[in-house]
Homo-oligomer: A and B are copies of this chain.
Amino acid sequence: MAEKLRGVFTPNMVPLDDRGEINESELRRYIDWLIERGVHGLYPNGSTGEFTRFTAEERRRTIEIIADQNRGRVPILAGAAEANVRESLRACEHYHRLGCRAVAVVSPFYYKLGPAAVYAYFREIARNSPIDVTLYNIPMFASPIDVATVQRLAEDCPRVVAIKDSSGDFTHMMRMIQAVRPVRPDFAFLTGWDPMLMPSLLMGCDGGTHAVAGVAPEAMRRIFDLTTAGELSTASDLQYKLLTLFDTMINPSFDFPAGVRAGVELRGFRLGPSRQPQSGPTPIDGAKLSAAIDALLK
């Protein structure tokens, strides 16, 4: 049986070149940098990775490049949500052949589906996937996955091995842990809400997938290590500094993930033009963002 998912996963962005195509060499350089700075795993084709703004072929190509560059150093959690179950399963098969550890599948989006349909969707994928499946709950963007549905899927589908929860609702995470852990101790809980990594770990989470880990991987890793080692006072100081960075990068005055993009560029990577057209200058305060990164890293 494969090892439980654990630690800090990076939902990485994809660099583009001047023509707007995937910049393969810069992507390889970025992946190396993330691994060298200590992230436990990679998570391409997530929301931070703007998966909806790429074509199906481009999503596939992104995973191929990353799997090749990774050379088995860290587990890859590959985003595999496509237009429908059949297309998603094709992605699952391909990512399985590439040696990914698991796929992550976001709940159906655009239409807001009820629990029965969300269950049916994931069950169909889980029954046919050759690779482990992580549920991805992000109710601000996609149909919510409620606690009872997570529990049913955990009970009925051995292939479902984890949930990534980006709801930002601490109690929701506690409820899922309480419902699932007794029946599936191998099931992993990853928080997708960066400011809550430390308290989430203290209440039983196994790790997180954090946009901030694409900008300050060292710090995210350090919060994980300090918290699991019981050094709570130092961990707390760092967690609050990370909150400052998070609120500087991700806030309502500009559109996600524009702030993460700016942060990655401040760390020395060229991400190229955004797939989302811009009108006017960006409202992101680069000096403030830079200061927040420095405060967290020093």
With A121-B277, A243-B171, A277-B120 given, is the CB distance from A110 to B110 under 8 Å?
yes
With A120-B277, A279-B120 given, is the CB distance from A171 to B195 under 8 Å?
yes
When chains A and B are docked, how far (Å) is the Cα of A275 from the Cα of B277? 31
Contact B142 A170 (CB under 8 A): no
* A237-259 to B contact mask, C-beta < 8 Å, 1/0: 00110011001000010111000
- Asked if A114 CB lies within 8 Å of chain B CBs, one says yes
Contact A202 B204 (CB under 8 A): no
Residue from the list B52, B116, B276 in contact with A279, Cβ < 8 A? B116
Question: Which chain B residue has the least Cβ–Cβ distance from A115?
Answer: B279
Question: Which chain B residue has the least Cβ–Cβ distance from A282?
Answer: B116
Residue from the list B111, B140, B243, B256 in contact with A141, Cβ < 8 A? B111
- Asked if A123 CB lies within 8 Å of chain B CBs, one says yes
When chains A and B are docked, how far (Å) is the Cα of A112 from the Cα of B279? 16
Question: Which chain B residue has the least Cβ–Cβ distance from A244?
Answer: B178
Contacts of A204 in B (CB 8 A): 236
Contact B168 A279 (CB under 8 A): no
Contact A247 B175 (CB under 8 A): yes
Contacts of A141 in B (CB 8 A): 110-112
Q: Which A-B residue pairs are the 9 nearest by beta carbons?
A: A120-B279, A199-B199, A170-B170, A124-B277, A120-B277, A84-B275, A52-B110, A53-B84, A117-B255
Q: Please give the residue numbers on chain A whose beta carbons come within 8 Å of chain B beta carbons, in ascending order.
A: 20, 47, 52-56, 83-87, 108-114, 116-117, 119-121, 123-124, 140-142, 168-171, 174-175, 177-178, 193, 195-196, 198-199, 202-204, 232, 236, 239-240, 243-244, 247, 252, 254-256, 275-280
